[in-house]
Amino acid sequence: METFLIKAAQLILSLSILVFLHELGHFAFARIFKTRVDKFYLFFNPYISLLRCKKIDGKWQFKFFARNVPDMYRKKLDAFGNVVKDEKGKDVMEEISTTDLAQDDWRKHTDVTEWGIGWLPLGGYCKIAGMIDESMDTEAMKKPAQSWEFRSKPAWQRLFIMVGGVLVNFITALAIYSMILLVWGEEYLPLQNAKFGMQFTEVAVKNGFRNGDILLAINNKPVEESSEAIKKILVDGSQSVTVLREGKKTTFILPSNFTRQIIASSSKQFMTPRVPFVVEKTVNGSAAAKAGMQKGDSVVSVNGKAMFAIQDISVQLDSCKGKTVPIEFIRSGKRLSASLVVSESGKIGVALKTFAGNFVTKRISYGFFESIPAGINKGVETLTSYVKQLKFIFTKEGAKQIGGFGTIGSLFPDVWDWQNFWALTAFLSIILAFMNILPIPALDGGHTLFLLYEMVTGRKPSDKFLEYAQMVGLFLLFALLIYANGNDIFRLFK
């Protein structure tokens, strides 16, 4: 439960920062071009808001756990008090005059933005006056256009307002990457320093890799770090792989569908460094402590099978839950043995020597002026790699891997780590920017597409067309949201 809460807290904080900045991008350009913004909300607020505030006559007014302000329309009544109907039998609505409202009614001050926090942490919104958006405020669009409305502004100004959120998200990602490099720098394990080689998934082994291989080159070009190798193999589709295997160079060709095989296997990482199972300390009262194991002991055999890597030993122990198994280990050059009971969770009660304690890593530090171009480069590379990966979504294997909030939350570590938090926030900011600029109605990209059409042809799409397009876009987005989160639920009970 604690792990779930830590992951959930990181996810909500990360998305809150990104959504707030995204909507702030729209808000900033709207105000630059003197366009009225009716509401700015973090999180959605159906029926009620956790916080609402508005600056009226120079003073901020706050309302907590308050019902949302009713809209400015009411049913029109005839002289006899009956509701007026139109030719289709629908109620006719009329705008409420501000003179009919009390002085403390916030609706009287329509020229001031209402700020708030909703109770549904799934996003946020910036409601710009005179724009057909997710609020579907069609009544307001029936009135004559006002100079301070979005629809009255020149197309080029509306374009900036629409792309403002995407622009801010992308700049945010670049700024975060630069900050990470400045504060923490970069540290990675050169593949040549993985002296025990790499551990590969079952699919990778079936296609030519062998546990213990050290990657040397991809398509005859040397590679230094695992992330670079993974990108070339899985994203770029490189097929020729050269490895050092048992002291000899070996080259083999991966099949063209290798990436799709990896995706179908649901493997989070198809290769990881092989790390020896070396005890850092034993847990008091554990099976390892009772067997006399000590710090520095290196396990070399479990249940009569020779093995030394954490990956292999973990699998073997997991298969021996609740059983007494013989274990052999090296201590000060001597081979010792012991029998111990494996717990029902597949553990023997030891803390292991850390990754950094087994290998020589490479660290790169950045000064302030060095971190900026390096952060920009990292952001552009991340965006490019993400765009290339989208082609797999349209495959059968890729479609099954689409996930919702559960999948995104699982990316965050089990413990709170600020470096990882900011790295994932930057990555999510890239995704948010790209997904929002897709030419889908209801997204910023859909609005942008219609604006570009208007700028090229000189003809503005009708409000009715934009209304229908918005409805179609919202339907598609809700369908995708249901599908993605449905996949998460299916995998949870699989």
- pLDDT tens digits for 403-431? 777 777 777 877 888 999 999 999 999 99
Domains in the chain with CATH codes? 191-272 (2.30.42), 279-352 (2.30.42.10)
pLDDT at 136 exceeding the cut of 60: no
Which pLDDT tens digit goes with each residue over 162-213? 999 999 999 999 999 999 999 999 988 888 888 888 989 889 999 989 998 9
Kindly report which listed range (217-226, 259-268, 359-368) carries the lowest average pLDDT score. 259-268
pLDDT band, residue 73 (cuts 50/70/90): low
Buried/exposed code over 252-273 (b: 16+ C-beta within 10 A; e: otherwise):
eebeeebbbbbbbeeeeebbbb
**Phi, psi angles (nearest 5°) of residue 198:** -110, 155
Which residue has tokens 């290339």? 388
Which pLDDT tens digit goes with each residue over 453-468? 888 988 888 777 877 8
Q: What's the pLDDT at 350? A: 84
Which pLDDT tens digit goes with each residue over 355-383? 666 778 888 999 999 999 999 999 999 99
* Sheet (strand 324-331) strand order: 305-306, 298-302, 324-331, 334-341
User: Does residue 159 or residue 405 have the better pLDDT?
Assistant: 159
Residues listed for the chain: 494
Kindly report which listed range (9-18, 96-105, 250-259, 311-320) carries the lowest average pLDDT score. 96-105
Mean pLDDT over 18-28 rounds to 94
